[in-house]
Structure 1
Amino acid sequence: MTADRRGLQPRKQPRQARAEATRQRILTAAAHVFAEYGYAAGTTNRIAERARVSIGSLYQYYPNKDAILMELVTRHLDAGIAAADSHRDGQLPESLEETIRLFVRTSIGNHLDDPQLLRVMAEQAPRAPELLDKIYRHKQARTAYVHDLIAGHPEVEVEDTQVAARLVVATIELVVHQLLAAPDPVDVTRFENELVAMLTGYLTTAR
């Protein structure tokens, strides 16, 4: 759901190490509570109890559980962006298959949290405009990067590399999240191999 900024921003930005440690404890506790109880039953009282802070202390940092969940989503996204950006200045494999594998494995690595927590973040977290804008900008930058890579790669046979880049980015993002957030577990190694084979086959098949 799309939401405005009201009630979604932290109330207090820690300036001291002790305050930052308290906030980290609240976020860690919230991740466990949402994963264990789901969103509806993941109350601030349960989060405070798990974090071993008073409910008053929790409210000094966050006005409600929406703001806590919003920060968890933002941190999840930031971790994914940082992991994806780490490839930009590094040496990529010469093989297209191994390059795709690197992208897939990086995305999988950012989605190995508790499946229930992933579902809560995807399905029930509020979407503030700035978060939606960050997601859009990251997707655009990632698509441009993948396009530049495949457009000049000797193994790529697909003609429309613009559409292909969008499909690769969207497929990795959506399929990885949906399968790893599913309640029934998936063999991660087999999943990685199959997704890499699917994308590599698409890019290297002339049409």
Structure 2
Amino acid sequence: MPPARSPYRPRKTPRQQRAWQTRRRIEEAAARVFAQHGYASGTTDRIAEEAGLSIGSLYQYFPNKDAILVVLVRAHLEQMTQTVTAILAEPRPLADWLPELTRALVRIHADDPRLHRVLFEQAPRPPELLSRFHQAENEAAAAVEWLLRADPDLTLTEPGRQARFVVATIESLIHRFIGNLPYLDAAELEREIVTMVTRYLRCHE
């Protein structure tokens, strides 16, 4: 007896360009609906209407709204991973890569904070997605550790552990504050994170 299909997976993988375009329309419409209406009111009926499709057409691609959300979370995670990899690819001083990394990640989230709150706070986390999150976090921590060890101006006590604190601090503060504090804009959040992380690292030399 074949294993039950995960409710968080798309129904099929498109093979033709037209089908890929339709699936992309659904994903883009879902992003708009979740940003405007939130998770509870972001129904498949609303998503289908926003995409200009029948509900039956939507169900040909996705079994439910959670499956669409998981696809959106994966796309967000891969965007973050590619950004981190590109910025941390070459050895540079802390004062160069830390502001650039923080700015890039803040601006990815500030582009649509209401959507990212749904993705971060309410989207399901099936095991394979959690595994990918942990992998991405480990890769980011390893890249930061490499930069910290290569920086001649830093002599850290435990660069491996401190790299993990850096990654966790940047990630958690962005998710906590983007869209939640109207009096704190993106540029101010960037400066606060950079100041906090820099002082943390300097305290552990």
Q: Same fold (TM over 0.5)?
A: yes
Secondary structure in 2 matching 1:67? helix
Measure the CA separation in 2 of the matches of 1:79 and 1:198.
Answer: 25
Corresponding residue number in structure 2 for 1:196: 194
| Deviation, structure 1 residue 17 | 1.4
Matched-pair contact (CA < 8 Å) for 1:158–1:202: no
Measure the CA separation in 2 of the matches of 1:179 and 1:39.
Answer: 19
Q: Superposition RMSD on alpha carbons, in Å?
A: 1.8
Matched-pair contact (CA < 8 Å) for 1:157–1:203: no
User: Structure with the greater relative contact order (CA < 8 A, sep ≥ 6): 1 or 2?
Assistant: 1
Structure 1 outlier segments of 4+, above 3 Å: none
Matched, 1:48 2:45: no
Corresponding residue number in structure 1 for 2:29: 29
Distance change (3 Å), C-alpha of 1:206 and 1:46: closer
Corresponding residue number in structure 2 for 1:175: 173
Q: Which amino acid aligns with 2:147?
A: L
Corresponding residue number in structure 2 for 1:71: 71
Distance change (3 Å), C-alpha of 1:206 and 1:73: closer
| Deviation, structure 1 residue 42 | 0.6
Measure the CA separation in 2 of the matches of 1:116 and 1:185.
Answer: 16
Bigger drift between 109-118 and 131-140 goes to 109-118
Measure the CA separation in 1 of the matches of 2:5 and 2:154.
Answer: 44
Corresponding residue number in structure 1 for 2:115: 117
Measure the CA separation in 1 of the matches of 2:150 and 2:177.
Answer: 31
Measure the CA separation in 1 of the matches of 2:99 and 2:10.
Answer: 37
Measure the CA separation in 2 of the matches of 1:88 and 1:135.
Answer: 18
Corresponding residue number in structure 1 for 2:12: 12
Q: Which amino acid aligns with 1:45?
A: D
Corresponding residue number in structure 2 for 1:143: 141
Deviations along 1:47-95, one digit per CA (max 9) or x if unpaired, are 0000000100000000000101111111110111111111344x454x3
Corresponding residue number in structure 1 for 2:61: 61
Among 162, 165, 181, the residue aligned to 1:164: 162
Corresponding residue number in structure 1 for 2:103: 105
Q: Which amino acid aligns with 1:50?
A: E
| Deviation, structure 1 residue 151 | 1.9
Structure 1 portions without partners, runs of 5+:
none
Structure 2 portions without partners, runs of 5+:
none
Distance change (3 Å), C-alpha of 1:5 and 1:80: farther
Measure the CA separation in 2 of the matches of 1:148 and 1:183.
Answer: 34
